[in-house]
Amino acid sequence: MDDIKIFTLALVFYIMCVFCDGFHIRKECNIKSNLFIYVISLHYLVRTFFVFGWLFNNKTVLTMYVIGAIILIIHWVTNGWNCIITEIENIECGKDQKKKYKIAVIDDITWSALNTLLIIVLSIIATNKLFKY
């Protein structure tokens, strides 16, 4: 898949996340601040990059992906497996700062482990692609 198609797919994913989930959370939390939308948008921008970044065939994007993944995992480990952006969202929403979002029946520890494993696997794929260039 060429980079334009990947970018288009990522853009559609990003827009869907921000408009569907972001506005739902804003309504659920009764948020009036535009800052919250910016925080949600930043969170989904980071998420979108880590979902699709490894697919690109651009050496700069792949390098940013691998370095970003290392930084992300270090951040999670040093912040008690919490994302600082999620913490800001929780503060804005009036929830416990360290509360994580439950996904179906997966507990927080399992969800954190799955996220970390996914980022590691995708980083290995991105690193492998980098060495092919």
Distance CA 21, CA 8 (A): 19
Give the model confidence (pLDDT) of 60-90 as tens digits.
999 999 999 999 999 988 988 888 888 887 7
Distances in Å between the Cα of 80 and the Cα atoms of 67, 69, 75, 76, 130 are 20, 17, 9, 6, 31
Q: Which domain holds residue 78?
A: 3-132
Given this model, what pLDDT does residue 121 score?
93
Q: What is the mean pLDDT of the chain?
A: 81
Give the model confidence (pLDDT) of 10-25 as tens digits.
888 888 777 776 666 6
Given this model, what pLDDT does residue 126 score?
95
Distances in Å between the Cα of 103 and the Cα atoms of 106, 109, 110 are 6, 11, 10
What's the domain count of the chain?
1
Is residue 42 very low, low, confident or very high in pLDDT (cuts 50, 70, 90)? Answer: confident
- Asked whether the whole model's pTM tops 0.85, one would answer no
124 vs 104: which has the higher pLDDT: 124
Which residue shows structure tokens 């996340």? 17
Whether 103 has a pLDDT exceeding 60, the answer reads no
